[in-house]
């Protein structure tokens, strides 16, 4: 069962927090005199090719894609298809050969979209509540229409656990009832034990196992996100690949409510949310039946829709090696437009990444000699919903996976436009011999290699290159960081994440330093060029957990480290 909260986005939010922390950490490290090695240098051809990476192209593509006319480039939405056509036209203008379906640049990807419909309702006693403002339904949505009408029962944290010697369902009958669950934790239990025994999955499983008719979570805010922020995500359209299996079970309707709505529900019951929480935190049970009736219904609109990956290729110059290719990826999708007309422009995430990809394609098409291996440029859709476009392409590749030398991915939060870039994070560098290639390029360009200081955060798993990794293709995700006072730009980044990340505020700003983004493109281009011209295709390090043959499926979980 998928977690009720769209944890991917929350995790991503935490992730970027950690990403920023990583940049901070490395500043400290680099302060201790790890000056760039100057031994590695660029060849004349490399310098010439680098010079062909144009800021104008970067700015033009990023600005065009994040313009309101693209309506937030939603996956399988009109705006998304407009963006796909725009990128395909760019590829055509650059002279890339089409590598999509039927001799075109577009690869059709079928999706199933799910959107909470405005018929979704909640009534408690005589009070009706507002969708979004007061409550939001939580996925997975296992039925198009999912009603429940029953008396309300407060069940504290909703936990039944031997280990904790706790049963919040003792003394109340929850079968066929709608239960109100408090999010939180009693003071007398360690966070680790609580996470073990009282995580969302355990609580929902316990309640559903006891036959509840519906679940209402109160005190839904978390340290990472307020109810308002969570609600903003949960009411958004969700997208899955059309062939993704539907949930093999039916769940009762599940909702989160704001604190104000929870208090309104508790009005006349002799208690408030704050009182309940205070008592529950002492470890005491607060479970009891309430003489109020709940009528709740979750209704979703599902559609079979089609989106597009956009893919083109610059054929290699070497008769033998041109059958192999280096792939550049960047997702062009953002959160699109809502039924109420709200647009998510996604300028830094990830119109900028597509701008970097197109500026690299331009530099290669205008350079000679061409690289020995072929160069594929793949702008994918559906990333925001779980790397879907990249998953689809690696399952239905338009170039044999066995012949893909490496994937170089651009995705980020815009740290590269804060100021001139001096630091480069190469996520994945430690797993294959792409690492040394990158190090040489950084040394040759005076960049500071920045290791991923928080591997436990798993940044490497969270963007499109990971779809290639799962298919055995060595890959890197590149992220650029500025020079100068770190605390100053850390604050800027955190402010950005709090207000603009995956929000309508992610727009192109007048103070963007486009040269920073150009530097990231140049580094990406040089790494790809060296991989395209080297004799052998990159290999995983024998110790790498991802070490498997290209094209081979993922090993069974038992073999995973
Ligand atoms: Zn992104």
* 299 Cα to the center of ligand 1, angstroms: 29
Measuring CA to CA, how many Å separate 249 from each of 108, 112, 138, 210, 375? 30, 18, 16, 15, 45
Q: Is the CB of residue 550 less than 8 Å from the CB of residue 404?
A: yes
| Burial grade of 427 (CB within 10 A; 0-12, 13-18, 19 or more) | buried
Q: Is the pLDDT of residue 7 over 80?
A: no
Beta strands 121-124 and 160-161, pairing class? unpaired
Residue 463 C-alpha to ligand 1 middle, in angstroms? 7
Look at residue 108 in the predicted model and tell me its pLDDT: 98
Inter-residue contact 153 to 218 (CB < 8 Å): no
The residues, any chain, with a CB within 8 Å of residue 218's CB and separated by 6 or more, are 180, 181, 182, 183, 257, 259, 262, 273
Determine the distance separating the centroid of ligand 1 and the alpha carbon of 409, expressed in angstroms. 10
283 C-alpha to center of ligand 1: Å?
41
CB atoms within 10 A of CB 498: 13
- Is pLDDT at 29 greater than 70 in this prediction? no
379, 331 contact by CB (below 8 A): yes
CA distance 248 to 1: 9
CB atoms within 10 A of CB 146: 20
Is 31's pLDDT higher than 60? no
> What are the start-end ranges of the H helices in 95-187?
none
For 321-339, the pLDDT digits (tens) are: 999 999 999 999 999 999 8
3 state SS of 297: strand
pLDDT for residue 552: 82
Share of the chain above pLDDT 90, in %: 84
> How far is the centre of ligand 1, averaged over its atoms, from the C-alpha of 124 (Å)?
39
What contacts 23, CB < 8 A, 6 or more positions away? 415, 423, 425, 450, 481, 486, 490
Residue 421 backbone zone (phi > 0: left; psi -120 to 50: alpha; other: beta):
beta
**From the CA of 519, how far away is ligand 1's center (Å)?**
19
* Across 39-66, average pLDDT: 95
Contact assessment for residue 306 and residue 76, using Cβ atoms and an 8 Å cutoff: yes
> From the CA of 258, how far away is ligand 1's center (Å)?
29
Better-predicted residue by pLDDT, 149 or 229 = 149
How much distance in Å is there from the Cα of 389 to the middle of ligand 1?
A: 13
- Mean pLDDT for 69-79 is 98
* pLDDT classification of 39: cutoffs 50, 70, 90: low
| Ligand 1 centroid distance, CA of 77 (Å) | 18
Cα(488) to centroid(ligand 1), Å: 23
- CA of 546 from ligand 1 middle (Å) equals 22
- Determine the distance separating the centroid of ligand 1 and the alpha carbon of 199, expressed in angstroms: 28
pLDDT exceeds 80 at position 5: no
Q: For the whole model, what pTM was predicted?
A: 0.88
Q: How far is CA 234 from CA 137, 253, 300, 469, in A?
A: 7, 14, 12, 29
Choose the weakest-confidence range: 16-25, 123-132, 223-232.
Answer: 16-25
Taking all residues of the chain, what is their mean pLDDT, rounded to a whole number? 91
Q: Go through the domains of the chain in sequence order and give each one's CATH number.
A: 5-112+303-533 (3.40.630.10), 115-301 (3.50.30.30)
According to the model, what pLDDT value does residue 246 have?
Answer: 85
Kindly give the distance from the C-alpha atom of residue 411 to the centroid of ligand 1, in angstroms, as a whole number.
5
What pLDDT, on a 0 to 100 scale, did the predictor assign at position 128? 98
Q: Which residues surround ligand 1, an ion (CB under 5 A)?
A: 349-350, 411
Residues 51-55, mean pLDDT to the nearest whole number: 98
CA of 502 to the centre of ligand 1 (A): 9
Distance 349 CA to ligand 1 centre (A): 5
The CA 266 to ligand 1 mean position distance, Å, reads: 41
Model pLDDT for residues 275-289, shown as the tens digit of each residue:
999 999 999 999 999
Q: Is the peptide bond before 319 cis (omega within 30 degrees of 0)?
A: no
How many Å lie between the centroid of ligand 1 and the Cα of residue 34? 30
Distance (Å) from CA 23 to ligand 1 centroid: 18
Beta bridge partners of 180: 154, 216
Mean pLDDT of 501-515: 97
224 and 121 Cβ atoms separated by less than 8 Å: no
β-bridge partners, 329: 378, 409
Which tens digit of pLDDT belongs to each residue from 360-393? 999 999 999 999 999 999 999 999 999 999 999 9
* Distances, alpha carbon 330 to alpha carbons 107, 216, 286, in Å: 15, 39, 50
Distance 331 CA to ligand 1 centre (A): 7
């Amino acid at each position: 069962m998928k977690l009720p909260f769209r944890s991917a986005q929350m995790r991503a939010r935490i992730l970027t927090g950690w990403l920023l922390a990583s940049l901070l950490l490395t500043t400290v490290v680099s302060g201790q005199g790890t000056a760039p090695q100057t031994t590695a240098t660029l060849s004349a051809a490399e310098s010439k090719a680098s010079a062909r990476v144009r800021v104008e192209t970067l700015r033009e593509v990023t600005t065009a894609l994040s313009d309101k006319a693209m309506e937030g480039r939603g996956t399988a939405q009109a705006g998304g298809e407009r963006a796909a056509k725009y990128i395909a036209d760019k590829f055509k203008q650059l002279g890339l050969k089409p590598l999509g379906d039927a001799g075109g640049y577009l690869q059709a990807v079928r999706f199933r979209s799910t959107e909470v419909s405005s018929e979704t309702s909640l009534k408690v006693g005589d009070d009706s509540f507002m969708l979004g403002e007061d409550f939001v339904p939580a996925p997975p949505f296992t039925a198009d229409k999912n009603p429940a009408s029953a008396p309300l029962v407060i069940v504290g944290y909703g936990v039944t656990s031997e280990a904790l010697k706790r049963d919040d369902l003792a003394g109340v009958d929850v079968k066929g009832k709608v239960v109100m669950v408090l999010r939180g934790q009693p003071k007398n239990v360690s966070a680790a034990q609580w996470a073990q025994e009282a995580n969302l999955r355990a609580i929902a499983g316990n309640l559903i196992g006891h036959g509840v008719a519906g679940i209402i979570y109160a005190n839904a805010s978390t340290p990472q996100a307020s109810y308002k922020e969570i609600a903003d995500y949960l009411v958004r359209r969700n997208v899955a690949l059309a062939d993704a299996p539907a949930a093999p079970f039916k769940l009762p309707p599940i909702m989160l409510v704001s604190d104000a709505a929870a208090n309104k529900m508790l009005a006349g019951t002799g208690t408030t949310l704050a009182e309940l929480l205070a008592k529950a935190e002492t470890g005491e049970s607060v479970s009891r039946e309430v003489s109020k009736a709940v009528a709740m219904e979750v209704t979703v609109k599902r559609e079979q829709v089609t989106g597009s990956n956009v893919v083109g290729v610059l054929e290699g110059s070497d008769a033998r090696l041109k059958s192999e290719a280096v792939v550049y990826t960047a997702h062009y999708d953002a959160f699109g437009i809502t039924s109420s007309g709200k647009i998510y422009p996604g300028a830094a995430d990830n119109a900028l990444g597509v701008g970097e990809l197109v500026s690299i394609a331009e530099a290669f098409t205008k350079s000679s000699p061409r690289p020995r291996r072929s160069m594929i440029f793949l702008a994918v859709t559906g990333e925001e919903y779980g790397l879907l476009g990249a998953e689809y392409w690696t399952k239905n590749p338009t170039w044999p996976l066995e012949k893909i030398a490496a994937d170089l991915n651009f995705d980020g939060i815009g740290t590269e436009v804060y100021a001139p870039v001096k630091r480069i994070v190469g996520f994945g560098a430690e797993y294959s011999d792409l690492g040394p290639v990158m190090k040489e390029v950084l040394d040759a360009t005076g960049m500071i290699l920045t290791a991923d200081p928080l591997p436990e955060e798993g940044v490497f798993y969270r963007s499109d290159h990971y779809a290639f990794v799962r298919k055995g293709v060595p890959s890197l995700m590149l992220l650029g960081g500025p020079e100068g006072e770190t605390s100053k730009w850390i604050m800027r980044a955190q402010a950005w994440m709090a207000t603009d990340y995956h929000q309508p505020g992610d727009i192109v700003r007048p103070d963007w330093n486009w040269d920073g983004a150009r530097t990231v493109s140049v580094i990406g281009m040089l790494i790809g060029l060296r991989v395209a011209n080297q004799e052998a295709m990159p290999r995983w390090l024998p110790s790498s957990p991802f070490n498997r043959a290209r094209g081979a499926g993922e090993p069974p979980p038992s073999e995973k480290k």
